[in-house]
């Protein structure tokens, strides 16, 4: 028995070597043909220095865990939370209390953004809560490494990530940012509102007036989400989301989602009616499973705007409900923060 032990251990060791995480894989991205073509394009289109880009690509570290999320090898739910997780983590009293403290601490910037862009402090705060827990999360990964890995390895969104890599370099140049120091999500989203580079370029603002649109500045994050909502037509006067009732089982046959918009007459035909006043003739129909039951909601144009930021009905419902919870708790205080 003892004579076979060394062979057994060698076999186990060899097996473990084979299964070592690909994270340890070394890739010199500056040598890949696709990356070299990218450098040539960045030089010809935008005037970037080729030597500098090659040096940056050489320093990129391969992120196998990030890549696995977009190659179908990662666990389900790794790129989008379930409804139960949103409810369990965000739509709870402790989380709402955290939001109230955030609003008190950032009163100046919330008030400025609210007045400038005509969006409520509560909805701005709701985005920041869901996206990063008010800046606590969202900087776990090197953005450069993530985007280079996703841009130059086959995956279901490779073209998107290659475009985002291009936008990252433009963003960094415009705002004097060091791409090697930027940190974000596994998908390259940055800051307390987790914006990918193209969204940063389009909607970010310098709310604190320091001359830079900084994804890690809380003031600029507040301004950026307010800017996004305003430019998509957000109106505080709309309800965003109201609960709905159903009768019978026909409501299960109607398609639900962030694009599922129906006349109220059609919804009524399927046994679905608003549980509160809903001043529109059409509504987005949202059905979320809660165990053996369902939560139903009707959304308006504001709801659709939220889904333009993240195309998930669970995400949008969470944002809307969290903002309402913040507003409700603030309204019960004898002295409003605003």
Label residue 315 by pLDDT band (50, 70, 90).
very high
CA atoms of 265 and 247, how far apart (whole Å)? 14
Query: Is the pLDDT at 69 greater than 70, yes or no?
Result: yes
Query: Is the pLDDT at 338 greater than 70, yes or no?
Result: no
Neighbours of 148 (CB within 10 A): 29
Percentage of the chain with pLDDT > 90?
A: 80
Q: What is the predicted pLDDT for the residue at 246?
A: 95
Mean pLDDT value of segment 125-147:
95
Neighbours of 250 (CB within 10 A): 12
Query: Is the pLDDT at 3 greater than 50, yes or no?
Result: no
Label residue 25 by pLDDT band (50, 70, 90).
low
Q: What is the predicted pLDDT for the residue at 333?
A: 53
Q: What is the predicted pLDDT for the residue at 78?
A: 46
CA atoms of 169 and 316, how far apart (whole Å)? 30
Mean pLDDT value of segment 178-201:
93
Contact predicate 296/245, CB 8 Å: yes
Mean pLDDT value of segment 295-309:
97
Q: What is the predicted pLDDT for the residue at 329?
A: 87
Mean pLDDT value of segment 10-39:
67
Diameter of the chain measured on Cα atoms: 82
Condensed to tens digits (0 to 9), the pLDDT of residues 71-93 reads 876 554 445 567 888 888 899 99
Q: What is the predicted pLDDT for the residue at 337?
A: 35
How far is the CA of 210 from the CAs of 56, 140, 205, 213, 319, in angstroms? 27, 26, 11, 8, 29
How far is the CA of 7 from the CAs of 16, 18, 19, in angstroms? 14, 17, 19
CA atoms of 6 and 93, how far apart (whole Å)? 58
Contact predicate 264/283, CB 8 Å: yes
CA atoms of 150 and 54, how far apart (whole Å)? 17
3-state secondary structure (DSSP) of residue 119: coil
3-state secondary structure (DSSP) of residue 240: coil
Report pTM.
0.84
Q: What is the predicted pLDDT for the residue at 26?
A: 84
Condensed to tens digits (0 to 9), the pLDDT of residues 246-292 reads 999 999 999 998 899 999 999 999 999 999 999 999 999 999 998 88
Query: Is the pLDDT at 164 greater than 50, yes or no?
Result: yes
Q: Which residues pair with 273 in a beta bridge?
A: 245
CA atoms of 263 and 51, how far apart (whole Å)? 58
Q: What is the predicted pLDDT for the residue at 21?
A: 41
Chain position carrying tokens 């969104």:
157
Q: In whole numbers, what is the pLDDT of the chain averaged over residues?
A: 89
Query: Is the pLDDT at 24 greater than 80, yes or no?
Result: no
The alpha carbon dihedral of 52, 55, 56, 57 has a sign of: positive
Chain position carrying tokens 């841009």:
151
Dump strand ranges (E) for 119-240: 141-142, 183-184
Query: Is the pLDDT at 70 greater than 50, yes or no?
Result: yes
Q: What is the predicted pLDDT for the residue at 56?
A: 98
Q: What is the predicted pLDDT for the residue at 10?
A: 44
Query: Is the pLDDT at 336 greater than 50, yes or no?
Result: no
Contacts of 111 (CB under 8 A, 6+ apart): 121, 338
Q: How many CA atoms lie within 13 A of 332 on its CB side?
A: 6
């Amino acid at each position: 028995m003892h004579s076979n032990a060394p062979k057994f251990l060698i076999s186990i060791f060899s097996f473990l070597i084979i299964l070592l995480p690909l994270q340890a894989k070394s890739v010199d991205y500056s040598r890949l043909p696709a990356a070299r073509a990218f450098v040539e394009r960045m030089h010809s289109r935008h005037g970037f220095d080729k030597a500098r880009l090659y040096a940056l690509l050489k320093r990129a570290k391969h992120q196998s865990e990030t890549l696995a999320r977009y190659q179908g090898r990662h666990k389900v739910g790794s790129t989008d939370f379930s409804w139960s997780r949103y409810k369990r983590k965000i739509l709870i009293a402790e989380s709402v209390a955290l939001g109230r403290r955030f609003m008190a601490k950032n009163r100046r910037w919330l008030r400025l953004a609210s007045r400038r862009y005509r969006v409520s402090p509560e909805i701005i705060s709701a985005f920041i809560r869901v996206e990063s827990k008010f800046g606590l999360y969202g900087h776990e990964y090197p953005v450069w490494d993530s985007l280079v890995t996703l841009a130059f390895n086959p995956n279901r969104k490779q073209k998107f990530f290659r475009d985002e890599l291009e936008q990252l370099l433009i963003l960094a140049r415009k705002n004097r940012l060091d791409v090697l120091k930027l940190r974000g999500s596994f998908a390259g989203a940055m800051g307390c509102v987790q914006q990918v580079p193209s969204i940063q370029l389009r909607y970010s603002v310098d709310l604190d007036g320091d001359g830079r649109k900084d994804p890690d500045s809380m003031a600029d994050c507040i301004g950026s989400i307010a800017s996004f909502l305003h430019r998509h037509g957000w109106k505080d006067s709309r309800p965003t989301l109201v609960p709905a009732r159903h009768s019978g089982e026909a409501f299960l046959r109607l398609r639900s989602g962030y694009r599922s918009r129906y006349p109220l007459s059609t919804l009524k035909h399927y046994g679905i009616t608003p549980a509160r006043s809903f001043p529109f003739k059409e509504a987005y129909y949202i059905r979320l499973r809660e165990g053996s039951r369902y939560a139903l909601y009707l959304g308006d144009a504001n709801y659709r705007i939220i889904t333009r930021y993240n195309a998930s009905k669970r995400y949008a419902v969470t944002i809307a409900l969290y903002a309402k919870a913040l507003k409700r708790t603030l309204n019960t205080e004898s002295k409003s923060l605003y």
